[in-house]
Amino acid sequence: MQEEDDVIVDAYREAFRRYAKDGVIDMDHRLKHRFNFQIHRLEDLIRELSGVIPPYRQSQFFITLIKNGAGEKTIGRFVFPIVRDLLFIVPKGVAHSSKYWSRDVSGYFVSFNIEFFLQSSFPKQHIVDKKLFKRSIRPYIVLTKEEMGKLEGIYEYLIGEYKGEQTRKNEMLAIRVLEMIVLCDRFFTDLQELKHESIYNSVVERFSDLIRKNYKEHKSVAYYAGELHMHPNHLNAMVKKFTGLTAKGTITDYLLVEAKFLLHTTSLTIKEIAYMLGFDEPDRFSSFFRKNLKLSPSQYKLTPV
């Protein structure tokens, strides 16, 4: 199984090297092979990847446990320090990157996709409906020693099972990963309910989903407030309290992420990208882009990331 681990890490390292200038690397298109499941000791992974993981997105779920380390992690719009006893979650399709300040890192990393569970006949709602995989949730928490111990036990079991040759191995892995998901979901819920720390808001989640589905046609806060049956000022205050961005800033941020992704990962012209993002004139897209990034789309396209 060590050979398979090496193949996976080599594939990611090569994709990071070749496509770092994409802006946000789309691993679903850049990797030659799909990996339904992988698990690593974090110290091994960070050493192989030299401590820096460029921005990328993938149709995988990621659960990482930091036992020791320091650095900075970005998941979507959330940027936070990497510290001891940290748990962070990356929902599928969300762009993320990492910078570790030193190689003195320890912990665990596991990723999987829905296909990994479907091959074991697990209903997918057990995974996709969990609160911790919502895009609007604050994706990180610091755990207690007791919580750390529970998760470490599951990770160690997964590593042992993954490297072994027992029959029906994938079913056992799927069962323990599902246990991990339920346990992590409980940790996030307990943090909100018992420590009165807000990590999830259903309105903000619905707002995020609406933007993802409608950003090409609708770019005004008023539209989304209407869909959510609330006043624009109320929506703005709620989104800003939870995410730090205004409602308009959230819409703008989503458009910029998509624009930068298209500029760096496709051969589409700026005119084609403008229409793809719902701008009725390319000049309006260019003005929007320049206003927010102080660069024209064509300048950004030529700028190394």
**Domain positions in the chain:** 2-194, 202-301
Amino acid 127: pLDDT: 63
Instruction: Give the CA dihedral 130, 134, 137, 142, nearest 10 degrees.
Output: 50
Angstrom distance (rounded) from CA 119 to CA 174: 9
Q: Within the chain, which residues score under 50 in pLDDT? A: none
117 CB-near residues (< 8 Å, 6+ apart):
124, 126, 127, 174, 177, 178
The overall pTM is greater than 0.85? no
CATH of 202-301, one of 3.40.50.720, 3.40.1500.10, 3.90.1150.10, 1.10.10.60: 1.10.10.60
84-115 pLDDT per residue, tens: 999 999 988 888 889 999 888 999 999 988 77
Q: What is the DSSP letter of 207?
A: H
The yes-or-no answer to whether 2-194 and 202-301 have a common fold is no
Structure tokens belonging to residue 72: 């900075």
The pLDDT value given to residue 55? 86
Instruction: Give the mean pLDDT of the chain.
Output: 85
For the four alpha carbons of 272, 276, 277 and 279, in that order, the dihedral sign comes to positive
Fold of 2-194: Jelly Rolls (2.60.120)
E runs forming strands in the chain:
25-26, 37-41, 52-57, 61-68, 71-75, 78-82, 86-90, 96-100, 106-112, 140-142
